Amino acid sequence: MVLLQISEPGESPDLSVTRSIAVGIDLGTTNSLIAQFDGELVHVFEDDLGQPSLPSVVHYGAESTQVGDAAMALANEQPENTIASAKRMLGRAREEVVDDPYASLTTDGALAFATDQGKKTPVEVSAVILGALKIRAEAHLDSPIAGAVITVPAYFDDAQRQATRQAAELAGIKVLRLLNEPTAAAVAYGLDEQAEESSLLAVYDLGGGTFDISILRMRAGLFEVLATGGDSALGGDDFDREIARYLTTELELADPTPRQRRTLLGIARDAKQALSDSAEVEIDGSGLGSDALSASLTRQTLEALIEPYIERTLMSCRQALQDAGVDSVDRVVLVGGSTRAPAVARAVEACFGQTPLSTLDPDQVVAMGAARQADILIGNRSDNDALLLDVIPLSLGLETYGGLAERIIDRNSTIPIARAQEFTTARDGQTGLVVHVVQGERERVADCRSLARFELKGIPPMVAGAARIEVTFRVDADGILEVSAVEQQSGARSEVVVKPAFGLDELDITDMLKASYEFAAEDMVARKLAEAGVEAEALLEGLRAALAQDGDLLDSDEAQTLQQEMARLEQVLQQTDVDAIREHTEKLGRASETFAARRMDRSIQTALRGISVGQLDAESAE
């Protein structure tokens, strides 16, 4: 017999027996947090000292591994074994990353840190951080964790998202979903429940190592991300480095050692935080072995140092508004510890014309939103829970004949999404093709980013254009892309999950978007030229094959005239005049009409050879 859980009238039912445990994790560049929503409140789990943030730092000593504050305590003593900001290197290749002041990078092979415990990849470092968060949460919970929502920057590409998933798997955490950090912040504020009518929200997220801007449309029960932007390698760490460079000069440190650089970064971080409330701070350089014992840093100097970085964030904000097709928003939310800098808040207010909302702790808000979403995804949902519709940041497509990029899924399309498009072969007898997957906004493949290549074999040999090949792009809720190609007649199939070996450079995404606008007219001309060239080449190739097979159908004058028209088109193809190419293609098409008609007659005669009129009448009657 099945028993029902009953509660007295007016008494809240005890859901602890039936609720599954899911957590939200903010895997941050500087600090990480873990939280859980119990149906009423969000709890950000603290350590034994009452600290909610876990420094995203790992120390690999000869005999033990330390994480968080314990690792930071060893940073100055053993900087070469202490790794911080590993998140910035997730999904990247060795050649993309300059020497890092935090730890020693290996000089060959995959990106890894050289430690006393051997090579450690960014994925392994992140797994240690996630494992420590899991242990912290389970100490507060009565049941094991069933799953987690882990937040990532909105502009993390496929490689960076895959690397995040791998880190969670290494830590023994089941990933329910990777959620964009700005979207998580909006969930934490519950802004969808406050919006009776459609309204617009900008989430400005400036953390330790990444910056994201998202424009969302809110309605009751629904978040829709209209546009995203940002920089996956810009954040408070850059502020710290800029301050450290300034102090290196002020304290007369000619060539700082790794230990001095690490100490300087700590001093810079402390000074930056102090200047959020003070106008000036004194820097004690006595422990650095510098010639100058002290230096001062004013808020005015700090703001001058970080102004270029703030301006870079505002460029992304303006672009996001343009991409969303809106001029203004109704609210602005600040997320990330770096938004505590007064200069950042002022700049954001000036950019959007709105006083930013920052009532929740900017360091905790992302984890809080992830916890709420995790509770929904694990099955503890209600009719009023928010539905999240994220978008992909850059268009996805493939290479077509002539080096052109054919978009299958446009940027800012809501995910999860699937799109299919039919293609064909370019040459007679073609039995295979290479599917080249690209990402970007330009018309030519050379101007886009290559994601993956895979081969489709087993296409039946047919004349060019006869094969039917359906290519399907699928992007899941985590932003991971799967591409498949199927030849309709034979059923031949091939597919790939796009896992590129590296991530985008810090300015790649911004540059790609800017270039798509800057070169829009030029790209369109280039596309028209390429399309005209493909059409002309196809006609020439077809005529060459036809003349080789049925050239006897033309007399010498007719053949000479056709050859002359072909030569003129070949000559025009060497130029860049689209109209001239199209004009001569049409002229050659008209000049070959008689030849095509004779070939058709011969083909029919050959097909009917040996068939009597009676047989034709009988077949027609049937």
* Residue positions annotated with a catalytic role: 26, 87, 181, 205
Radius of gyration of the chain (CA): 31
Pairing label, strands 387-391, 222-231: parallel
Q: Are 414 and 389 in contact (CB under 8 A)?
A: yes
Whole-angstrom distance, CA of residue 92 vs CA of residue 502: 4
Q: Is 214 helix (H, G, I), strand (E, B) or coil?
A: strand
Whole-angstrom distance, CA of residue 481 vs CA of residue 475: 5
Q: Which residues contact residue 581 at a Cβ distance below 8 angstroms, ignoring those fewer than 6 apart? A: 529, 532, 533, 536, 569, 572, 573, 575
Q: Are 472 and 456 in contact (CB under 8 A)?
A: no
- DSSP at 27: -
Structure tokens at 261: 């650089």
Whole-angstrom distance, CA of residue 486 vs CA of residue 545: 29
Task: Give the total residue count for the chain.
Answer: 622
- H/E stretch holding 454 reads strand 449-457
Instruction: Give the dihedral sign, CA 606/607/611/617.
Output: negative
Angle between helix axes 556-572 and 520-550 (nearest 10 degrees) is 160
3-state percent breakdown (helix, strand, coil) of the chain, nearest 5: 40, 25, 35
Whole-angstrom distance, CA of residue 543 vs CA of residue 464: 13
Whole-angstrom distance, CA of residue 7 vs CA of residue 322: 53
Q: Are 160 and 90 in contact (CB under 8 A)?
A: yes
Whole-angstrom distance, CA of residue 257 vs CA of residue 317: 38
Which parts of 488-608 are beta strand (E)? 493-497
End-to-end CA distance of the chain: 68
Cβ-count burial 15-35 (b if 16+ within 10 Å, e if not)? eeeebebbbbbbbbbbbbbbb
Cβ-count burial 474-504 (b if 16+ within 10 Å, e if not)? bbbbbbbbebbbbbeeeebebebebbbebbb
Whole-angstrom distance, CA of residue 466 vs CA of residue 468: 7
Structure tokens at 303: 């703001």
Q: In what order do the strands lie in the sheet with 449-457?
A: 404-409, 396-400, 432-439, 449-457
Q: Are 171 and 76 in contact (CB under 8 A)?
A: no
Residues β-bridged to residue 65 = 60
CA 353 to chain centre: 29
Where would I find the H helices in 451-519? 508-518
Query: Of 172, 183, 260, 257, nearest to 216 (Cα)?
Result: 183
CA-to-CA separations, 581 to 224, 375, 434, in angstroms, rounded: 45, 61, 28
Residues β-bridged to residue 224 = 217, 389
Residues β-bridged to residue 114 = 119
